[in-house]
Amino acid sequence: MTIINLKKIAVIGTGLSALSLAHHLPSLDITFFEKSWRPGGRISTRRHQDYAFDHGAHYIKEDHGVIGFNEYLEKINATKVLNGTFCSNIQNQSPIEEKRVIVGQKGIESIPLEFHKKLRYPTEFSTHIKKIESRNHEYFLLTEDKEFGPYDFIFACIPFEQSKNLLEEFIDYKNIPTPTFDSIWTIMLAFDKRLGSPFQFGYHLNKEISFLMNQNFKHEFFNEECWVVNMRAEWTKEYYNIENYVLEDYVIDKIKKFFGSSSKVIFKKSHRWRYAYCKQSFQELSNKSFIESIDHRLYALGDWCQGPSMQDAWLAGKKLAKHFSELRLQI
């Protein structure tokens, strides 16, 4: 047995599980690689002129039970607590109630932006890692035209299928269970005047729309009526390849009819999240919290390890960091 020297570490992805991992592994030689131009993955705010839409993750529950998560986000000034009017089942006319939610200071993207800024690790943005190569017990990351390395440890904090494509040369995936996901169509709409909704967010509008949330009470810097709408997973699966403009016009018609509104749409945009919601996590399928190579140098991680929420991603990173910190011996 030999002592593992904690040397150079590459973390692929800057979603919340990656940020949590790095946070719980302080003072190491870590470099992030992110194919997008910003950190955060699905914790994303889409901006257009003066409008802002939290079109990935929407909010954090106050009472999710994961210790330390809310407190840390408050400490780094990434979040704020708001009271919103909420309907648990719009279709069944459930009573409207007041609900406290945690949202980003300047959009939900404030969470990964502030988190990443506090870590202060170098990051290669707009860098899509296509392949990992092993040479003399060290690892190199390859894009289409660049090479990075060498690295001693690699953490692929990306969707399960993408991690499999990168790591299956080094990790036998044959007996590894595959987490299951729902895809979700999301639509962003801005209207020229108020819709007259009695609630600010709610679930189950009808058989097509699963969730909608007014953005104005979260973002106080614009006047137009802005909403984010999520289609049901079953509907998204059936209409997975629908044209964006057809979907947008369909949803606009449904929303305006429901509220009885004559408001004009002044902005519309839709986005399909392929890996939107983890239905069955790796933890549920395998009773394990991450995937690792036999030599403990390559890892796969993501919210898919624990579940669909932001606190699940935080917990996934924390668990792997604990395991890695305790792993002092290499067989």
Closest residue by Cα to residue 54 from 237, 252, 233, 187: 187
77 contact partners, CB below 8 Å, separation of at least 6: 105, 114
3-state class (DSSP) for residue 93: coil
Query: Hey, what domains does the chain have and what are their CATH numbers?
Result: 2-330 (3.50.50.60)
Write down the pTM of the prediction.
0.92
Q: Which two tokens stand for residue 328?
A: 């002092």
| Strand partners for 156 | 12, 300
- pLDDT of 327 reads 82
**CA–CA distances in Å: residue 254 to residues 2, 16, 137:** 64, 34, 58
Q: Residue 328: its pLDDT value, please?
A: 53
- For 263-278, the pLDDT digits (tens) are 999 999 999 999 999 9
Residues 29, 122: Cα–Cα separation, whole Å = 9
Instruction: Identify which of 245, 304, 221 has the alpha carbon closest to the alpha carbon of residue 51.
Output: 221
Helical (H) or strand (E) element with 191: strand 180-191
Region of 214 please: left (phi>0), alpha (psi -120 to 50) or beta: beta
C-alpha span between 130 and 171 (Å, rounded): 16
What was the pLDDT predicted at 221? 64
pLDDT at 6: 55
Average pLDDT, 10 consecutive residues per value, the chain (331 residues): 64 97 90 96 90 93 86 95 94 94 94 96 98 95 97 96 96 95 97 93 95 90 86 97 98 95 95 94 96 96 93 96 78 40
Which pLDDT value is given to residue 222?
66
Give residue-wise pLDDT tens across range 105-124: 999 999 999 999 999 999 99
> Looking at residue 67, what is its pLDDT?
86
